[in-house]
Amino acid sequence: MSETKRNKERVDRAWNKLYDRLDADGLLLSGRQDRKRLSASMLWKWGAVAAIWVGICVFLTVTYRKVGESVEAQALIMQENTEQSTLVTTLEDGSIVYMGGETSLQYPEHFSMDKREVSLQGNALFDVTGNRERPFLIETEEVRIEVLGTMFHVKSDVGSTFELSVQRGKVKVALKNKNQEMYVNAGEAVTLKTHQLRFTDYRDDTRIAHYWKSMRFKDESLMNILRVINMHSSGLQLKTSPSLGERRLTVAFSGEAPESMAELICLAMNLKYTREGDIGVLSE
């Protein structure tokens, strides 16, 4: 039975009880009954009862809305990158995911209050926003990854060897089908061999750098796009107004300098670009 139907039945039962009490006290009028005079105390008594039941109805309505909101919060978003260039996605908490080719990422539209959980199939570079109260969890086919705030690369292609290398911070990796977990620090890497997680000296830094050479953004806010560009620019920093920052854009870059990226964005969104020293401004 749905929550809406259960709430409706509760309200119906409540009003039926109130109706029976009013009828028993002779307060209900019919065409053949004489109108009874209600004393001030009786009016106060039944007014209070009516107020209580109205409060119950309001409570049930609010409860139903909260249930509906919690269901909506569990709606999942699926991002799939079928191309070889990197698909960049900024999550609700500000964490950035650089998805490699033939990779899929599933995540909730709104994270829960106690954790941030996503599911990955393929290869991705994660730059996770730190939050000790809400750990960031990544589910892969064989491994579960827990982080608080760090940057790391995950290789989890179906049928390939699982690999993880940490650029900064600390990551906990746990093997799902066995009681094994490892903590991986910055500069370290682990791989899955013969059903065991093992430290390895192998780190594919060239692959990590490759994520930033050719990037695509799909229906992403301008604010998030500029943030990613600025993270990988040692000089020029791009900015715009909060109102323009909310506008969304689908755009692709392939090795352009930050200023060229800004000019491409302005061309696509009909904006103006001006530069003041090391600051590039996008405006209307």
Tell me if 249 is assigned to some domain: yes
Tell me if 35 is assigned to some domain: no
The pTM (predicted TM-score) of the whole model is 0.72
Domain of residue 238, residue span: 213-281
The residue with tokens 């799902």 is 176
pLDDT score of 195:
87
Segments of the chain scoring below 70 in pLDDT: 1-74, 202-205
Residue 122 maps to which CATH number? Answer: 2.60.120.1440
Tell me if 87 is assigned to some domain: yes
pLDDT score of 116:
96
Query: Do 181 and 229 lie in a common domain?
Result: no
Query: Do 169 and 229 lie in a common domain?
Result: no
Last residue of a domain, one of 167, 198, 229: 198
Query: Do 225 and 252 lie in a common domain?
Result: yes
Q: Each residue of 10-50: pLDDT tens digit?
A: 656 655 655 565 566 555 544 444 444 444 445 445 455 45
Residue 270 maps to which CATH number? Answer: 3.55.50.30
Last residue of a domain, one of 154, 170, 198: 198
